[in-house]
Amino acid sequence: MQIESYEALSACISRHLRRGVATNAFGAKEAYIKEIKEKALSVEEWDDGLLLFYQRSGYQRMQFYLQSLSLPEFGCFSQPTVTEIASREKDSALHQATAFWQSQGFSLLYERQRLTLAKQTPVASVESPLCVRLVGPEEAPAVAALMRRCFDRITGCLPAQWELCDDIEKENLLCAVAPSGEIAGLLHIGREGAGTQLRHIAVAENFRRQGGAQNLLAAYLQHTQHARSVVWVRPDNEAGRQLYLNNGYQPDGWRSAVLYRP
């Protein structure tokens, strides 16, 4: 069912906010409203559950509310679907939900670990030929192209074009620029209450080892007034892990499982 208004979505969600529900849906009202405006949000609902689907180019992202580990026969998995389930060691209901989705045809692609940097932690910049600044509206196509080169189209949590333009307008995208004017790197910021999330950081292969990632990180923290920062990182992303750990990020006990159904 296509969601046409936030009120309709809120009514659906309210029916499933019961004790014991397992969910990976923690969206903010503003984010839901934008998805609805773009006609990108639909739901499937039954007595013991609710599925939210976010339409993207060639695939969909899924969030869920489950009272029981059961699923009626739906035709909602006719296209590739990805979901991510974040949990702590004590969250047994979410661990069970992860296993349940695997029994429903989803495969575990990889796990991620969350690292946190306490607010007001100083991070230094280094000398670099790359200049870090905010992304301008006219640079959206170049930034999108760099994201596509550096991250997986389906599991990389890439923003839709309208999301990207909105984040540029809200000054949530930084870029590292080469002397030639080429965009050599980027950092994508997510806002989380009083803190922030480092959603994406990437440097084009031919501009690596020039201080771009370090200076993007330092500029991001300065731009967000050194608010508390979190980042999700794959265990096999050794370069990324070292960047974060060397600058004071620490594991905080949260992990996630990224599941995919073709």
Q: What does the pLDDT read at residue 74?
A: 80
Phi first, then psi: what are they for 125, rounded to 5°?
-95, 170
CB-based contacts of 198, cutoff 8 Å, min separation 6? 187, 188, 189, 190, 217, 220, 229, 230, 231
Q: What does the pLDDT read at residue 182?
A: 97
| Mean of the per-residue pLDDT values of the chain | 95
pLDDT tens-place string over residues 18-76: 998 999 998 888 889 999 999 999 999 999 999 999 999 899 999 999 999 999 988 78
Q: Confidence band (pLDDT; 50, 70, 90) for 192?
A: confident
Q: What does the pLDDT read at residue 235?
A: 83
CB-based contacts of 163, cutoff 8 Å, min separation 6? 34
Q: How far is CA 201 from the centre of its chain?
A: 12
pLDDT tens-place string over residues 89-118: 999 999 999 999 999 999 999 999 999 999
pLDDT higher than 90, residue 251 = yes
CB-based contacts of 76, cutoff 8 Å, min separation 6? 44, 51, 53
Phi first, then psi: what are they for 109, rounded to 5°?
-80, -45
Q: What does the pLDDT read at residue 184?
A: 98
142, amino acid identity: A
Architecture of domain 131-227: 3-Layer(aba) Sandwich (3.40)
Residue with token string 């998995």: 77
The Cα–Cα gap between 115 and 81 comes to 26
Q: Where do the domains of the chain lie?
A: 6-79, 131-227
